[in-house]
Every structure is written in structure tokens, then in C-alpha cells.
Structure 1
Amino acid sequence: MRSPWKIAAVLVAGLLTAAGCGSNAASTDDGAVSLSLWTGFTGPDRPAYEALVKQFNDSHPKIKVTMDVQPWDAIGQKLPGAWATGQGPDLATPNFDPGVLFTYAKTNSLLPLDEAVGDGDGKLNTTLFPKAVTTAFTIDGKLYAAPANMATLVLYYNKAMLATDGVAVPTTADEFAAAAKKLTKTDAGKVTQYGISLADHSTIQMWPILQWMNGGDIVDAKGCATIAQAPSVQALQKWADLVAKDKVSPVGQTGSDADTLFSAKKAAMEINGPWAAAGFKAAGIDLGIAAIPVGAGGPVTLASTVPLAIGKSTKHKAQALEFLAWWTGKTAQAAFSDASGFPPVRTDVTPSNPVVAPFAAGLPHARLYLPGLSTSAKIDADVYVPLIGKITRGEPVEAAAQAAAEAINKITGCKP
């Protein structure tokens, strides 16, 4: 499971490292324009990205894109200084957290993409991206990135466990809570099977979904805290009690811990993204995939997306924009979805891979976590993660949520 909120620090060493990373070689030996692309896609989905780049190169003989895959931390160290000084790659995925774009925008390192926005081939069809994505990539009215990928979270479940306990796949919020409780088993006071494997840190966030299901949220569009409002407090209270009192999930799990527990067949359900499916199947789980259950807030899930941006100093602006338009086009996204198991970044592409269908179905109502806030990482690390840790260990929810709201408003500068 990925960790979207571990944002690498910008080190002075990055400036020195980047000095020799000049991006903009004019052309290849055969006269094609050469574009460099830095990405952090080191995981099992890496071949799908490499195949997409190859497909572009094969179909665009006058442009050659070279993808340099590096650890996310390495990109976080080198890219800020490189782009700020006019060096580095033509294109990059700066981080798996869209909020990092604010850092690059402050140093005037990003090329605005608005001139490439439009309908049809050769354009960035932003109206076909999930709205939350376009919002997250827009700063002060300018679009600074396109989605390199798109993922939604679903409910994974162990079919055998549910069948043994006579539990139907939950479709509503109440059924979800009841299933988590019924699927939890104890022996002499010790939990032998957890109903659900929930993580609360070093992971893509899943607790916000529990709030959204009930119509709650963390902040509003102006950055003012809503976490202490009744719908959020009710949801947090319900699930904190399920964890702290009913032991439906271990307390304090990382994303890796949660995955391991589910893979070991010690938990019946888990909320996760498409990157987890192959590992769960390899673990021998009779795996089921379902939409996130629906509560008072309507259908909702969490979306994850990685921004793909162009360095402002690129010498090949037209070709870089052409690459982004192609990458997010229908043909490329259909091929990428089939190869990677991820849903397409566009809402008008129907995946042919049936495993992808549940993830794609969530796109129209998917939401990003703390989108459009330059302070998102600080809110997550300093407020939200500690809040979940406290309430799942028994601290009073209402008081903890009120304290969290005050801390959020202090960080964002909101004066309610």
C-alpha cells in the first residue's frame, strides 16, 4: 500500500545533485526531439508505464521520451532544485501527493498547461477527468499537471470467511459496520479473526471514507475545519468504538501491516486500491471486490492520483504538451488500464479487464483527500493521523474532533 503523505524534504544537496541533470538535449541521432521523464513508479505497475512510453515513441517518430525511474525520495531531493534552476527533466511526476504542486508553483518551476486544454485528439480533455483531479491540479486558476494515473479504493473481502459466517457482502454503511462486528472472532479474550483490517498511518487514507459515507468531511472548500460537525463526529464515534471496544481491527496499523493481516487470512475485509489485488490473489485468498458501502452521504470513495507536470524551463514545450495529451487520450488510457489494472484517468473509457471495472465504476463519485490545500501534508501528519490514533485508543471522540478542528483552522488560517 502506498504512503501518499510521506513528502520528501527539499535538501540543499538536491541542488548540487541536480546540477549535472540537464534535461533538454535537443535531439537524438535520428533527428527526433528528446524528452526526459522522471517518475517514481518503481512498483509492480512499472512495466505498464514503460509500455505506454514505448507505445508513444513507436507512434511518434519525431519525439523520443526516455523514462528515468527513481525512488520517490530521490525525486523529492533532486527535482525541486533542478527545476528551480532551469535544469532537470522536461517532464516529471514530482510526488505521489498532488499537494506537492504548491511547492513547485511557489518557485515558478511548472509550465501552465491551460493552452493545451480542449476537446478532441491532441488536447487535454480535462472535462473528462474526474472533477476532483482537475481541482487538485489547479492553482490560482492555472492548470499545472495532468493525471499520470488514477486509482480508487474498493472493499476487498475474503469470500470464504464471509460464507463461513453467513455474512452477505455489505452494500450499506449499517451493513458494513454489522459485518465488521460479526466477522470478528475471539477465543479466550484473544482476537483470532478481525472483521476488517484498517490502517491509520503510513498509508493511503481510508478513515475519511468512513466520514464521507455519513455525509461528513475534514475541511470545506475554504480550508475551514468541518471535522467537528455532527456527521463526522458520528462516523468517527461509530468506527472508533468498533475498533476500540469491539476489536474489529487492530489499533495503530500501517498500510503494510493492514495488507499483511488481510493477506494472512486473519481479517475478512480491507479497503484498498488496485495495486493490492495481485498480492492478495498470490496469497491464495478467495478474493472478492465490491464498491464501498453507501451511507447517508451517498456513494463515495477515495481517489488517488499522481500529477504529471512539465518543467517551465523545457526547451520542447510543444512536444511535452503533445505527450501529455496523448498520455491522457482514450487509446493510451485503454491500453494502460488493461496492462496495469488501474482505472483509466478518463470517465469515457470502459476498461476491458473485468477486474478493473469496480475501480472505474467509482470514478464519478471519487474524492481526493484534502485536495487543493498547500497545507494538506501538515494537516495529515500533525492533526488527522494523531486524531485517529487517539480515538481508536479510547479518547473521547467529540473533544478530540473539536481540538483537531481548532488545529486545522490554525494551520489553514481559517477564522470561522
Structure 2
Amino acid sequence: MSAMSNSNFSRRSLFRAAAGMAAAGTLAACGSNNGRGGGSGSGKQLVQYFHAYGEAGTEQAIKRYAAAYKDTHVRTSWITGSNFEAKLFAALLTKQAPDVFEFHPQIQLVKSGQVADLSDIIDPVKSDFNQADITSHTVDGKIYGVRMIDDPQFFFYRKSMLEKAKVDVPTTLDELIEAAAKLTTDKVKGVYLGNDLTAVINPLIWSAGADTLTADNKPAFHTDAVVAGMKQLRTLFTSGNLLLDAPADYWDPSAIDQGLCAIQFSGMWAMPAMQKALGDDLGVFPFPKVGDAGKLSVYNGGWSMFVNAKGKNVDAAKEYVKWLWIDQKKYQEDWATSYGFHIPPRTSIAQGATKLQSGLPAEGVKLFNTYGHFDNIGWTQAMITAVQDAFANSVRKNGDPDAALSTAEKKVDAELEKLFG
């Protein structure tokens, strides 16, 4: 998997994942040796969980950073397979739970006491973080989780293919659908949105001028414009101009690299591999406007590091997180820019990241800064799943999107009631 974001797995709610013995069984296969024996330094050992990033060198890098930490021995569980969050949530219920793990800010982890307050280690450098990342990790004035990377997601396109077909870069969803038709040949599909289309759900909501939740935590996604956008997606899905069942999902650059499509939705992490394959024949654009009141949008996913508040070594885990993700700026820049392109959440590091300051990477950063939307900590796994189900039933199965969003809204309301009363 690549540096995927919040909406990109086959998602399950925390409760379904926790109940899934299959998930726990899978976990045992991919990291049951938690080696809780003695380490160096304090004699304790910390275990950290990462999902398997797709970019070459990532696993070696994380293990290299951990090996450089002298106070406590840190073991990395590199979790393969497509359902990282189910495996993580299942593990958190066992004695083999990780001390430190990467995930996305989600309020149920805070409300259940699962993640530790990291305000004390972040506050001294708080002003150096992208403030949207601080906001997305804050509950009642306390900061839970340190952002490691920001991952803007947008469309990549083959300039030569658009020129040959006399197609302009789309600025509306209608234009994207028209472009897909003109770009499709017997060998190439016009557009690729990923194999299950889940990656474009949040961008479509934002580009329709809506949102996942309001500022006071009410559902905000069920609007006429979102319904109309879902109908447009259904049109694209059935048109024959959308690449379906690609060999790898949207996070992997192979679909556009191999000429299977002219336009691919993906993340900035895939940019170096695309540039290596396609050179200068590559451009980027944000998710286009949906409807008359629409706005261009970019989803800024990413990954954050959390400390398991129910673990045996909370203080040691916090010290390690501070050492690596606050103090070691060289490692933070290396992680963000040496294995695919990500935007460092620390302003001082982002400003010095030379690889992101010219050409296509600089265009990606500009899209991030201009059109970006960040994770909402109140938007949980169960809510993500409810809206994904609505899109699947409407776009892939031709259900009524208005009715599907009503069903999703009821589920999201019930979750909000549990969380906020």
C-alpha cells in the first residue's frame, strides 16, 4: 500500500473490526512476535505499527530511524494487506497491542481513552506545524497525535493525450466526463478513479460545496448538489470510459504509467514514480467543481503517530515519539521527500524541502495550499463506512442516491449521538 489516506481502505467501523476474529487471526500472521523481552537502554521494548507503504525503501527507513534511538529498543510491525485499520483495532484489544501506531485523527480513539494526550511534547513547537494539522488533532484544547506527513490527492494527466484529443484540463465534473469520452480509445480509458471509487467520495462532497460535518458536528453531506454529483459519477461509471479493475489501486501509479488511462486520481506520493516513467508529459489538477455552486477541492490525507494510552510503556512511548517526530528534523524530511513526495507538516521543514520547490511538485504544493481540505477528527470509521455504502449502492449499483444518503445520514446521526450526546 502507499501512503494512503483516511478513506482509502475497505473500511470497517471500530466495533466491527474489534469483533472480527478474522482480523485478529490475520494480525497474528503478520506480526505476532512482539518480542516483549529486554531491549537496550531502559530494558523496555516498544512496538510500533505501520501500514505497508508502497514506496520502495519505506520499511527500511522506519527501521533505520528506530535503530538510531538509544533509550529504548523499538520494534516495527509492518502490517501488510489492505485492511490495516481492522488489524490495528483488533490488536489494540489484546495484550500484544502496539505502544505506538500510525493512523488518522478520529475522535472515538480519544473518547475511549485509547490515545494519549501529546500536548506537552507538541506545544513547544506547535507554531511550526501546519495549523490545519493541529486543528484536526485537537479535542477540548488537547492535541492527540503528531502529524508525520500530509498527502494531497488530485488528478494526474498525460499532456500529450489531452493535446491529441483536443481536450482542455477539466474544471467541472461535466467537463471531466466529456474529457473521458474523448480520451477513450480501444487501448486507453479516459479516466481512472480507483477500483472501488472510495478515494473520490470526500473530494466530490467538497467540490459540490458541501462537507462531511458542520462546525457543530451535524451531517453536512446530504445536499442536492452531492446527489447530482453521485448521478454524474453513475453516468461515468456506466459510460465505458472509466478504467475499472486496474491491476493496482489508485494509490499506485501503474495505471497511468502503463498507458491504461489518460487521467488518474492519485496522491502526490506517486509523483516521483510517474515522473520517472513519463518525464514532462505529466500535469496535475484538483477535483473539479460539482454543480453551479461548486468549488475545486483537494483532499489532504496523511498519517499521524499516536501513543497507546492503555499500553504498559506510555511515558517511554511518548519520549520516543518526541525524539523521532518532533526533534529529528532530518528524519522527518527524509520520510516526507525521499520515498515518494509528501508535504512535511512542519513549516520549517516544508520551506527547506528543495525537492518540492520547483516543477510539478511545486504545483502539487500549490494545489494543497489553495484547495486543501483536512481530516475532521469527528468523522469516524463508522461514518466513513456509512457514506461509502451510500456511494457504492448509488454509483456502482444504480440505487437512488437521495435515499442512500438519507440512510447514511441516519447512521451518522446515531454515531454523533454516541460521541457528542
The question of a shared fold, defined as TM-score above 0.5 by the shorter chain, is answered with: yes
**Partner of 1:361 in structure 2?**
366
- Helix, strand or coil at the partner of 1:117: helix
The residue correspondences of 1:391-410 to structure 2 (distance < 5 A) are: 391=395, 393-410=397-414
1:78 equivalent in structure 2: 91
Whether the 8 Å contact between 1:200 and 1:252 is mirrored in structure 2 is yes
1:22-101 correspondence to structure 2 within 5 Å: 25=38, 28=40, 31=41, 36-45=46-55, 47-48=57-58, 50-51=60-61, 54-55=64-65, 58=68, 61-62=70-71, 65-71=74-80, 72=84, 74-82=87-95, 88-93=97-102, 95=103, 97-99=104-106
2:199 equivalent in structure 1:
205
| Superposed CA RMSD | 4.1
Q: 2:303 aligns with which of 303, 306, 311?
A: 306
Conservation of the 8 A alpha-carbon contact between 1:200 and 1:254: no
* Alpha carbons of structure 1 residues 298 and 34: separation in structure 2 relative to 1, 3 Å: farther
**Alpha-carbon deviation of 1:155?**
1.2
**Following TM superposition, by how much is the alpha carbon of 1:158 offset from its aligned partner in structure 2, in angstroms?**
2.1
CA shift, 1:56, in A, is 6.8
Which residue of the partner structure matches residue 267 of structure 2? 273
Q: Where in structure 1 are there 5+ consecutive unaligned residues? A: 186-190
1:195, 1:267 within 8 Å by CA — same for their partners in 2? yes
The reply to whether residue 412 of structure 1 matches residue 416 of structure 2 is: yes
* C-alpha distance in structure 2 between counterparts of 1:81 and 1:288, whole Å: 46
**Corresponding letter in the other structure for 1:334:** E
Shift of 1:301: 0.9
CA contact (8 A) 2:287 2:298 kept: no
Cα distance change of structure 1 residues 204 and 353 upon mapping to structure 2, 3 Å threshold: farther
Mark the CA change 1:343 to 1:238 in structure 2 (over 3 Å): closer, same or farther: same
Selected match of 1:196 from 191, 210, 213: 191
2:318 corresponds to which residue?
320
Q: Does the CA contact (< 8 Å) of 1:227 and 1:402 recur in 2? A: no
| Percent identity of equivalent pairs | 17
User: Does 2:374 align with 1:379?
Assistant: no
**Distance 1:148-1:118 versus aligned 2 partners, 3 A rule:** same
Q: Specify the code of the residue in structure 2 equivalent to 1:256.
A: D
Structure 2 residue identity aligned to 1:118: D
Q: Residues 105 and 307 (structure 1 numbering): CA distance in 2 closer, same or farther, change over 3 Å?
A: farther
Change (3 A) 1:56 1:411: closer
For residues 90 and 298 of structure 1, do their structure 2 counterparts lie closer, same or farther at Cα, with a shift above 3 Å needed? same
- Find the aligned partners of 2:116 and 2:200 in 1 and give their Cα distance: 32
1:277 shift after superposition: 3.9
Q: Distance in 1 between matches of 2:36 and 2:140?
A: 27
Distance 1:127 1:229 in 2: 37
TM-score by structure 1 length? 0.74
More helix by share: 2
> Does 2:236 correspond to 1:238?
no
Count of equivalent residues: 389
In 2, Cα distance between the equivalents of 1:248 and 1:4? Answer: 24
CA change 1:48–1:392 in 2 (3 A) is closer
The answer (yes or no) to whether the contact 1:158–1:286 under 8 Å persists in 2 is: no
Which piece of structure 1 moves more, 73-82 or 341-350? Answer: 73-82
Deviation at 1:212, TM superposition (A): 1.3
Distance 1:143 1:195, change over 3 A: same
> Any residues of structure 2 matched to 1:95-244 within 5 Å, and which?
95=103, 97-99=104-106, 102-103=108-109, 105-106=111-112, 108-119=113-124, 123=125, 125=126, 128-129=129-130, 131=132, 133-170=133-170, 175-185=175-185, 193-199=188-194, 201=196, 205-244=199-238
Q: What amino acid is the match of 1:340?
A: Y
